[in-house]
Amino acid sequence: MSTPIIRRAAELILVGALVFGGLADAAELTGRASVLGSVAWPKVGDIGSDGGERLTADQQSLRLMLDGTNPTGQWSTHLKARRIHRDGLVGGESAAADLFRWRPLAQDWVDRGGNGASTRLGYEVDRTVYRRRFDQVTVGVGRQPIDWGMGRFWQPMNVFGAFAPTDLDTDYKPGIDAAVVDWYPSPVSSLTLAYVLSPQGGQGSQSDQGDALDDGGEDSTALYYRRQVGMQSELAALAGRVRGENVIGAALQGDWQGMGWRVEGVRQRIGSNSDAALFWVAGVDYRLAGGTLLTAEWYQHGDGAHRSAALASVGRSPRVLAGLQPHLGERVLGLSAAQDLTPLLHGSYLLLASPLRDEDGSRQAALLHQVNLNYSIGNETDLLLSIQHASGRGLDADGRPRSEFGHLPTGITLRLRHYF
């Protein structure tokens, strides 16, 4: 069967997923409201250091979630509305999900002011999916999240996009437009086949600055297998073709004397005659007697920069711009500690370290520190305080990065979140 026919069938199935929701016997409407404010103080060499002494941003968002069931399946629709205002502060959500959406199903109105200030107000349909259950098979069609991999900070097998280690909002992974078949041949194994659409008519994703990151591309197909091995280990394997890249990967995790460990990697090749790049992580975690959870993970990406001079060219890669490649450098070490400080207060500390050699061959390390304090105001409301500080070499005279994190300004974020 030809690719255009497969694509047309998948598009019709996606539209049909919007209709199946009306067949529900029971539906429930829930929601989440969030108010967030950020302020950063850039120094010389940081992003935004020419715009003034202080950079700010604020965001108000509302997510409405309608979920229903019928005798043979279930459906879910998420509508997200938000307003974002930035005064010099850059950055935002990853655009990876846009690369795997047939249509945007969104609308933004942007009022751009002077001196780097901008306001964005809009909405998007983040999820709309119908899942049908059979004896050992579940079929899901529509806009839905696909979350694969075993890593804590990075998941190479999350080939359709993953959260960054520093993301503050990880409650809901963005949905992508796909038909997904899950088969459970045994109680300890599963096999997933995903057919994922690319933007129709070459509609690419858009960054927060409005630059096109993609010109369309072919649809994606991936097969993901997961199985428990013994009592304390788990194996996963991946094979497919994602946006023109042949992908194969594997992961293994387990427990040894109370310490969790994992190894995960994928090998990607663009075309049949191109060089393949290996992206892998290895990590451990251990919980101390007092409840503190310690985590360490090593990241290595074959398409990352070996030296600081190559950071600028890697940063222009479409994979980096879209968020599919997490970092500019080849290697990053992640360390974290998390602890319940009181029954209502949870604290965590994250350290990311990226070593690179500069022009004279000496090794320079860039560090990123993030401290999060999350206080539970009530059963459905919490307050988050996040502080981020980076060290390392900043931007050069032409605005090009000389380290992985050195150009990021010190900043504080405060977020109030309520579920209803």
Residue range 48-57, pLDDT digits in tens: 887 667 899 9
Alpha-carbon gap, residue 331 to 21, rounded angstroms: 45
> What is the reported pLDDT for 211?
40
Element (H, E) at 312: helix 311-315
Alpha-carbon gap, residue 310 to 304, rounded angstroms: 9
Nearest to 207 by CA among 39, 95, 51: 95
Six token digits for residue 292: 């503190």
Secondary structure class of 295 (helix, strand, coil): strand
> What is the reported pLDDT for 274?
63
* SS3 sequence of 389-419: EEECCCCCCCCCCCCCCCCCCEEEEEEEEEE
First-to-final CA distance of the chain: 46
> What is the reported pLDDT for 323?
87
Six token digits for residue 387: 């502080």
Query: Who's near 420: CB < 8 A, 6+ residues apart?
Result: 30, 31, 32, 33, 380
- Under a CB-based contact definition with an 8 Å cutoff, are residues 80 and 104 in contact? no
Q: Give the DSSP letter of residue 149.
A: -
Alpha-carbon gap, residue 268 to 319, rounded angstroms: 12
User: What does the pLDDT look like over 194-205, one tens digit per residue?
Assistant: 999 999 865 444
Alpha-carbon gap, residue 158 to 150, rounded angstroms: 9
What is the architecture, at CATH level 2, of domain 3-419?
Answer: Beta Barrel (2.40)
- Under a CB-based contact definition with an 8 Å cutoff, are residues 333 and 298 in contact? yes
> What is the reported pLDDT for 325?
93
Q: Give the DSSP letter of residue 51.
A: S
> What is the reported pLDDT for 22?
45
Q: Cα–chain-centroid distance for residue 263?
A: 19
- Cβ neighbours of 176 (radius 10 Å): 25
Let me know the angle formed at the C-alpha of 278 by 274 and 284, rounded to the nearest 5 degrees: 175
> What is the reported pLDDT for 51?
60
Cross-strand bridge partners of residue 268? 247, 277
- Which residue ranges of the chain lie beneath pLDDT 50? 1-2, 9-10, 12-13, 20-24, 203-214
